[in-house]
């Protein structure tokens, strides 16, 4: 299982890349492996305001339907439209071309969003195994 040091994580197995006031989100390698073949991704509309803890999308695998939660308040400024054609990108490149949504956020809120470091997330997945 791959975990990347430059990313932050949630207990729901999402990753975030914070770049100034832009937060790119996806699901982790652990999550895509547990979900197995992803067949459909429900993306939010650009311009949607998402409150911290709200559902931002749905990820459907052959096995399950799982909701994607935003750990941070922000406005949807971009969505990965290539997932409409190739949802399996989340399986094959969860941290790269499998990104799901970009939010414009207040960087000051990142610290209060209780995100996990690589190390803390690894511990979480070890427990889950």
Partner 1 sequence: MTDNMKRTPLYDWHLSHGAKMGDFGGYEMPLWYTAGPKDEHLSVVSNSGIFDTSHMAAVSVKGAGAFDLLQHCFTKDLSACIGPARKQLVAGRCVYGVFLNETGGVIDDALVYMNGADAYTIIVNAGMGQQVSDHLKHHADGKNVDILDLTDQLGKIDVQGPVAAKIVSTLIQDPETVFEKMPYFSFKGDFFGDPVEAGEVRLTDGTPILLSRTGYTGEFGFEIFLKAEQTVALWEKLIEAGKAFEVLPCGLASRDSLRAGAVLPLSHQDIGNWPFINNPWPFALPYNEDSSGFTKPFFGAASLADPDKHEVTQAFVGFDPRKVIPGEDVVVLDDALTPIGTVLTCATDMAIARHEGRIFSIASEDRPTDLKFRGLCCGFVKTSSRLATGQIVMLQAGKRQLKVEIVEDVRPARTARRAMAKMI
Q: Which of 65, 106, 107, 123 binds partner 1 (CB under 8 A)?
A: 65
Rounded to whole angstroms, the Cα distance separating 47 from 8 reads: 24
Alpha helices in the chain (DSSP H): 29-35, 82-85, 89-92, 118-128
Collect all residues with Cβ–Cβ distance below 8 Å to 55 and sequence separation of at least 6: 67, 68, 69
Q: Count the Cβ atoms, other than its own, within 10 Å of residue 94.
A: 24
Query: Interface with partner 1 includes 1 (CB under 8 A)?
Result: no
Per-residue contact track with partner 1, 7 to 26, x per CB under 8 A?
A: --------------------
Query: Interface with partner 1 includes 128 (CB under 8 A)?
Result: no
Query: Interface with partner 1 includes 82 (CB under 8 A)?
Result: no
| Residue 86 or 109 with smaller CB distance to partner 1 | 86
User: Which residues in this chain contact partner 1 in the complex, by CB under 8 A?
Assistant: 36-37, 39-40, 42, 55, 58, 60, 62-65, 85, 91
């Amino acid at each position: 299982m791959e975990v990347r040091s430059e990313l932050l994580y949630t207990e729901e197995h999402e990753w975030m890349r914070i770049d100034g006031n832009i937060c790119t989100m996806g699901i982790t390698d652990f999550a895509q492996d547990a979900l197995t073949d992803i067949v459909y991704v429900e993306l939010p509309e650009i311009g949607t305001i998402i409150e911290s803890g709200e559902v931002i999308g749905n990820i459907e695998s052959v096995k399950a339907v799982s909701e994607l939660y935003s750990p941070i308040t922000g406005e949807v400024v971009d969505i990965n439209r290539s997932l409409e054609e190739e949802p399996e990108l989340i399986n094959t490149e969860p941290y790269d071309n499998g990104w799901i949504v970009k939010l414009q956020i207040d960087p000051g809120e990142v610290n209060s969003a209780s995100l996990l470091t690589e190390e803390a997330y690894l511990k979480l997945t070890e427990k889950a195994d």
